[in-house]
Structure 1
Amino acid sequence: MTVNLSTDTRPSAGPAPAAVRRRRRRFDALPYALVTPLALFIVALALIPAGVTIVQSFYRVQELNPPTVFAGLENFRRLFGDSTIRASMENTGLYVVIGVILSTVLGIVMAVTLQRRFRGRSLLIAVLILPWALPGVVEGIVWTGIWDSNTGLLNSVLNSLHLISDYHVFLGQNRLLTIFAIELVQIWQMTPLSTLLILASLQNIPDELYEAAYLDGSSTWAAFRRITLPLARPGIAIAMVQALIATLNVFDQPYVLNGAAQAGASLTEQTYYVSFQNLDFGEGYALSLLITVATLVIALGVVKLVYRPVEY
């Protein structure tokens, strides 16, 4: 009698490969369904006003002189023919130059200072963020107590030190002094963000690069020029772009500190005056479009000139 003791020890066949692939390819629509309404709302919130601005900038939209008719480039010709608008363009250019340069330089200095850990560093960063967190209107009100010609802190200090005999008017009379004083307030607001953006780039630089440079006899200044600045260029570019956008669209600080005085009026202020005081919305749309295009073009130029990809 022959007894067959052999057993089939092969593993049981699992699910068919096609079934596994079908399970892997199963599309889960729930995350997209949850995100889509918010995404559509954000896109509509950005695109609809932009589309209205572009279209209406070519129409004569005057509430006191209806109806709305197509005007072509007439709104833009009137803008460039207005001496007040041209003066505001020059003022805004000065805001941009002063603000971008000073906020970037101060941001680099502060970021390099905060690059290495030290006692109280976290507290210093927290205090540094406060000016950036304040609204522009609040900053304007705070700095009014410094620039005020009657009871301002600056006049009081200078008078106490016998550096001046009479209180001076810092805002509204001298154009360059007015622009510089107002832009200092905005720099006080922008510099913390510039510092954090540049600091984020500095944190990614390996310490080995500095150690190798010092072993080769490089000085601190040489390491800063040849390691820190080149490798921090992505953060510097982003910091410059955010400063550029803020200064090209400056409104709160000039309006609070300087009111309707033309000595330091910005283009964004003129958009408000043209649209809501003169009720010429077509020209206001055209000016808004010019500011947007200028912001986009100059920002792309800054990124092209400054930004460089970094590989470690």
Structure 2
Amino acid sequence: MTFSRGVESSSQAVGQPGAAPSGGVTTVVVRRGRRRFEVLPYALVAPVMIFIIALALVPAVFTIVESFFTVNPLDPPTRFSGLANFVHIAHDKAVISSIGNTAFYMVVGVLLSTAMALAIAVVLQRPFRGRSLVIAVLILPWALPGVVEGILWTGIFDPNAGLINSLLTTLHLGGTGVLLGQSRLLTITLIELVQVWQITPLSVLLILATLQLIPDELYEAAEIDGCSPWRSFLAITFPLARPGIAVCMVQAVIATINIFDQPYILNGAADTGASLTMQTYFISFQNLDFGQGYALSLLITAVTLVISLGVVRAIYRKVEL
């Protein structure tokens, strides 16, 4: 007996038609027809791909090319300048100053937001009454635009009627005066605390999603073996949560290196809190030197990519349960 799929049966593979091979064994021949080219999946994905190419890839290529040209409406025409834009940026005092600010934003922001997110995610790992409400309230800072948060915290840091000064006055501890713009360290610290308040909720959700994949049996076995909660955290929770921690640190790196809204709204154009992204804005739209703006944007992108890859290699570990 012969069966075929997608094509007509072939009796030659089993001898004469209708006759079974010797020994009473029936041979089954399965033939697969050619796969038809399915257009629908590609048609559904095409709009998204076009959107990504138009808004991401094309501008990226344009930025790379234009960073090697002098693009200035006040100094036409556009002409090739080689590495001149990068050399000029390397000698720009404002850019050099903002490098230190951005490095501080990144280090403090990544470490603090990751530590807070891990602690909060561990607390939310076990179900309890009202957990859904807590998570909903938790994501509100992340859902707010950076400009709105900057305006909100401007009122809190206000030296006259701000919440901090009012609280200190109520406690008879005296006012704090001007918080932003006077001391560079204090300014960038307060600005980064505002950003940490914004990016931590997303980090919590990323780590919490990883913790939900850890089987309860592991914790039960650890408890039977006499492990303390801290020992269970070090031996089970942290190692198995490393993929989520790596992702959360990468998104924190991207957010902190490209910080713009918070320092610009809270501290304006002052050098005490300016970031590299702010310098890109100033060079491009205040100085109208788009060539240097493209070059600085390209450098920021390259640095972000290198640091993100370094974080992934250092933190990420494949988990197999």
Which category describes the TM-score, using the shorter chain as reference length? over 0.9
The C-alpha deviation readout for 1:267-290, integer Å capped at 9, x for no partner, is: 000100000000000000000001
Q: Report percent identity of matched pairs.
A: 65
1:44 is the counterpart of 2:59: no
Answer yes or no: is 1:124 the counterpart of 2:134: yes
Contact 1:150 1:167 in 2 (8 A): no
Displacement of 1:16: 5.9
Q: Which residue of 18, 28, 32 maps to 1:21?
A: 32
Pick from 45, 50, 71 the counterpart of residue 61 of structure 1: 71
The whole-number CA distance in structure 2 between the counterparts of 1:34 and 1:102 is 41
Equivalenced residues, count: 299
User: Whose helix fraction is larger, Structure 1's or Structure 2's?
Assistant: 1
Q: Is the counterpart of residue 77 in structure 1 residue 66 in structure 2? A: no
- Counterpart in the other structure of 1:183: 192
Q: Does 1:241 align with 2:230?
A: no
User: Counterpart of 1:223?
Assistant: 232
Q: CA deviation at 1:35?
A: 2.3
Q: Secondary structure at the match of 1:54?
A: helix
1:272 match: 281
Please give the alpha-carbon distance, in whole angstroms, between the structure 1 residues aligned to 2:196 and 2:319. Answer: 28
1:189 deviates by 0.7
| TM-score using structure 2 length | 0.90
Where relative contact order (Cα < 8 A, 6+ residues apart) is larger, the structure is 1
Query: Residue by residue, what CA displacement relative to the aligned partner does 1:41-82 show, whole Å, maximum 9, x if unpaired?
Result: 312321110011101111111111111111111111111101
Which structure 2 residue ranges, 5 or more long, are not aligned? 9-30
Deviation at 1:144, TM superposition (A): 0.9
**Are residues 1:143 and 2:153 paired?**
yes
| 1:173 aligned partner | 182
**3-state SS of paired residue (1:150):** coil
Deviation at 1:15, TM superposition (A): 6.7
- Gapped regions of structure 1 (runs ≥ 5): 1-9
Aligned-partner SS, 2:32: helix
Could you list the per-position Cα deviations for residues 130-155 of structure 1 after superposition, in whole angstroms to 9, with x for gaps in the alignment? 11100000010111111111211101
Q: What is the rounded CA distance, in whole Å, between the counterparts of 2:248 and 2:240 in structure 1? A: 14
* 1:213 to partner: Cα distance: 1.0
Q: Are the aligned partners of 1:131 and 1:188 in contact in 2 as well (CA < 8 Å)?
A: yes
Cα distance, 1:176 vs. partner?
0.7
Indicate the residue corresponding to 1:7 in structure 2.
none
Deviations 1:190-211 (A, max 9, x none): 0000000000111111111111
* Residue of structure 2 in register with 1:113 after alignment: 123
TM-score (norm 1): 0.92
What's the RMSD between the two structures over aligned residues? 1.5
